[in-house]
């Protein structure tokens, strides 16, 4: 199967002229604050309205039609997307080299030189191309070191027999087999046409389709051409990535960062609604969830830099917090099981529950649903505390806390801490090898006593 690039969505004839708008994550812009949104609607733009509705339903961003134009509210999803005749770019809180440092660390990418690949990636609107450029750099190193090969089973007729002769196939041919110039053989040639290489080729083609930089697109197509006719095309989907994960082993671990990058690009270009057709699940653009990156960075950082008597557990199950009342579960359903993003153990005892939220709670308010979720975590364990780790770039950001009170006695029963993580400082720490500074920063993220 071939990787079919979705058709570009363009503005219909008679639609408003093409405009470009740049906004930040977790920001609301409307007709009064953005001239590009003033007097803009989807009345004559069915395709643009369909994309806006899909994005709103998926909660990647919220697009609302007002009387005098559009209102756009962004969230943790950043990148670029086309809404009919409006090209929208959503910038992350941290950009440039610090962003690339966090990206490489969170997804275990190598520190490869991108100078030759992203000379044109100089504007904020082009920052998603850094992901694609990293894919190009990783793949170039892979090709220079040699593709993985495997022995593949092939059953074919050969004039010069190889492997073993397929006696059963030969017998089925009957007396006519005596006049044939070939014999049915089963052999196992060593080939580059394996699943991982097929995914790499498809990922390069997807990256060339998504990038806005012409030079980078040419680089990606050249890399794909180096695979030549020896590697077949394949369609990227969830089943393909699951199979690629199973195919990864100690012998093919150098493919891991490339497959992870391709998976990121694939996810950033589509929606998870499986009720839609394949064409409707694609986006005219590229949106990346910064919450996913933030959690990956903190999970790895704490795992590597806390003292040896600490252990980090991801998605820890809080069993026994909820249960259906006896005799009041007619559908025999399982009770909900909360899962904090991170549980920190010290000498086999849980000392902290941490939830990673990519929302700057220093600059914005704490949503009630976050508070309720963390209150459950805090009430479920002996420390009676839970902590939200949130990103910030403010140098004056400080920890705050919300007490959960007994409504009658007005005494504190639990506490939810809101602890900022300075992204700039974290990126700086990751760029050097000062182990003492790393450990100090990691311990500062935990609400430890004594």
Quick: pLDDT tens for 344-376.
999 888 888 999 999 999 999 999 999 999 999
* DSSP state string for 61-91: EEEEEETTEEEEEE-SEEEEEEETTEEEEEE
Domain-terminating residue out of 169, 188, 207: 188
User: In this structure, is residue 428 part of a structural domain?
Assistant: yes
Confidence band of 239 (pLDDT split at 50, 70, 90):
very high
Confidence band of 430 (pLDDT split at 50, 70, 90):
very high
Give Dmax (Cα) for the chain. 98
User: In this structure, is residue 283 part of a structural domain?
Assistant: no
Confidence band of 418 (pLDDT split at 50, 70, 90):
very high
User: In this structure, is residue 297 part of a structural domain?
Assistant: no
Same-domain pairing of 122 and 159: no
Same-domain pairing of 399 and 427: yes
- 63-102 pLDDT per residue, tens: 999 989 999 999 999 988 888 888 899 988 887 778 888 9
CA dihedral 88, 93, 96, 102 (to 10 degrees): -120
Do 199 and 240 contact (CB within 8 A), yes or no? Answer: yes
Whole-number Å distance between alpha carbons of 316 and 298: 15
pLDDT at position 267: 86
Domain-terminating residue out of 52, 75, 91: 91
pLDDT at position 113: 56
What average pLDDT does range 398-416 have in this prediction? 92
> In the structure encoding, which two tokens stand for residue 98, read together?
């610090």
Distances (CA, A) of 332 to 322, 323, 329, 338, 390: 14, 11, 5, 19, 38
Contacts of 244 (CB under 8 A, 6+ apart): 195, 196, 199, 259
| 122 pLDDT above the threshold of 60 | no
Whole-number Å distance between alpha carbons of 429 and 23: 28
The length of the chain is: 450
Same-domain pairing of 193 and 182: no
Same-domain pairing of 248 and 313: no
Same-domain pairing of 209 and 352: no
Same-domain pairing of 109 and 235: yes
User: In this structure, is residue 426 part of a structural domain?
Assistant: yes
pLDDT at position 9: 37
Whole-number Å distance between alpha carbons of 34 and 89: 13
Return the minimum-mean-pLDDT range out of 113-127, 267-281, 302-316.
113-127
pLDDT at position 176: 63
* Short-list 272, 298, 292, CA closest to 283: 272
Q: Domain range holding 164? A: 153-188
pLDDT at position 187: 75
Residue 162 CB neighbours (<10 A)? 14
Helix (H) or strand (E) holding 187: strand 183-187
Q: How many domains does the chain have?
A: 4
Q: Helices 423-430 and 96-106 sit at what angle, rounded to 10 degrees?
A: 70
Do 377 and 339 contact (CB within 8 A), yes or no? Answer: no
* Short-list 42, 135, 53, 76, CA closest to 292: 76
pLDDT at position 180: 72
Q: What is the mean pLDDT of the chain?
A: 85
| 216 pLDDT above the threshold of 70 | yes
Q: What percent of the chain has pLDDT over 70?
A: 89
Same-domain pairing of 59 and 108: no
Bridge partners for 81 per DSSP: 88, 285
Q: Which residue has the higher pLDDT, 354 or 321?
A: 354
Residue 112 C-beta-side C-alpha neighbours within 13 Å: 22
Q: Which residue has the higher pLDDT, 168 or 54?
A: 54
Q: Which residue has the higher pLDDT, 271 or 403?
A: 403
pLDDT at position 420: 96
pLDDT at position 1: 33
Same-domain pairing of 254 and 347: no
**Chain CA centroid to CA 57, Å:** 19
Most confident segment among 281-285, 295-299, 380-384: 295-299
User: In this structure, is residue 48 part of a structural domain?
Assistant: yes
User: In this structure, is residue 279 part of a structural domain?
Assistant: no
Alpha-helical regions (H) of 289-338 = 290-305
User: In this structure, is residue 391 part of a structural domain?
Assistant: yes
- 137-172 pLDDT per residue, tens: 899 999 998 898 888 888 888 888 887 887 878 877
Whole-number Å distance between alpha carbons of 216 and 201: 15
Distances (CA, A) of 328 to 40, 116, 318, 320, 321: 52, 65, 22, 17, 17
> In the structure encoding, which two tokens stand for residue 363, read together?
């600059």
User: In this structure, is residue 433 part of a structural domain?
Assistant: yes
Whole-number Å distance between alpha carbons of 315 and 339: 5
Same-domain pairing of 162 and 219: no
Same-domain pairing of 103 and 251: yes
Most confident segment among 148-162, 173-187, 227-241: 227-241
* Short-list 424, 414, 434, 355, CA closest to 392: 424
pLDDT at position 18: 76
Confidence band of 123 (pLDDT split at 50, 70, 90):
low
Same-domain pairing of 236 and 350: no
Domain-terminating residue out of 269, 295, 324: 269
* Short-list 39, 50, 33, CA closest to 15: 39
pLDDT at position 96: 74
* DSSP state string for 395-415: TT---EEEEEE-TTT--EEEE
Whole-number Å distance between alpha carbons of 231 and 194: 7
Same-domain pairing of 119 and 85: no
Bridge partners for 88 per DSSP: 21, 81
Confidence band of 272 (pLDDT split at 50, 70, 90):
low
Report the SS3 class of residue 437.
helix
pLDDT at position 178: 60
């Amino acid at each position: 199967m071939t990787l079919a690039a979705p058709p570009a969505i363009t503005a219909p004839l008679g639609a408003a002229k093409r405009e470009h708008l740049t906004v930040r994550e977790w920001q609301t812009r409307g007709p009064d604050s953005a001239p590009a949104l003033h007097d803009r609607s989807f009345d004559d733009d069915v395709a643009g309205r369909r994309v806006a509705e899909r994005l709103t339903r998926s909660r990647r961003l919220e697009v609302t039609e007002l009387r005098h134009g559009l209102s756009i509210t962004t969230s943790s999803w950043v990148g670029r997307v086309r809404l009919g005749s409006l090209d929208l770019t959503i910038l992350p809180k941290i950009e440039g080299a610090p962003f690339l440092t966090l990206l490489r660390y969170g997804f275990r990418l190598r520190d490869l030189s991108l100078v030759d690949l992203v000379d044109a990636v100089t504007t904020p609107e082009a920052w998603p191309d850094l992901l694609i450029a990293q894919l190009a750099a990783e793949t170039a190193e892979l090709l220079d070191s040699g593709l993985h090969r495997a022995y593949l089973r092939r059953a074919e007729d050969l004039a010069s027999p190889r492997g073993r002769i397929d006696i059963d196939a030969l017998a089925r041919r009957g007396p006519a087999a005596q006049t044939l110039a070939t014999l049915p053989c089963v052999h196992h040639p060593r080939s580059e046409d394996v699943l991982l290489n097929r995914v790499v080729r498809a990922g390069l083609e997807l990256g060339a389709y998504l990038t806005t930089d012409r030079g980078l697109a040419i680089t990606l197509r050249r890399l794909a051409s180096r695979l030549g006719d020896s590697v077949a095309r394949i369609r990227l989907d969830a089943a393909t990535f699951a199979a690629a994960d199973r195919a990864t082993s100690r012998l093919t671990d150098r493919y891991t960062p490339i497959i992870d990058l391709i998976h990121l690009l694939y996810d950033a270009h589509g929606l998870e609604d499986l009720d839609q057709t394949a064409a409707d699940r694609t986006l005219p653009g590229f949106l990346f969830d910064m919450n996913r990156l933030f959690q990956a960075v903190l999970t790895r950082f704490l795992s590597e830099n806390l003292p040896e008597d600490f252990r980090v557990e991801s998605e820890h199950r809080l069993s026994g917090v909820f249960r259906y009342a006896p005799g009041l579960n007619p559908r025999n359903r399982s009770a909900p099981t909360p899962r904090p993003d991170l549980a920190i153990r010290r000498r086999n005892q849980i000392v902290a529950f941490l939830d990673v939220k990519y929302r700057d709670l220093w600059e914005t308010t704490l949503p009630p649903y976050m508070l309720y979720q963390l209150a459950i975590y805090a009430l479920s364990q002996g420390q009676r505390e839970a902590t939200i780790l949130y990103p910030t770039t403010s140098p004056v950001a400080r920890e705050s806390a919300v007490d959960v009170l007994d409504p009658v006695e007005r005494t504190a029963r639990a506490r939810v801490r809101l602890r900022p993580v300075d992204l700039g400082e974290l990126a700086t720490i990751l760029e050097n090898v000062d182990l003492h500074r790393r450990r100090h920063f990691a311990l500062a993220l935990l609400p430890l006593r004594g």
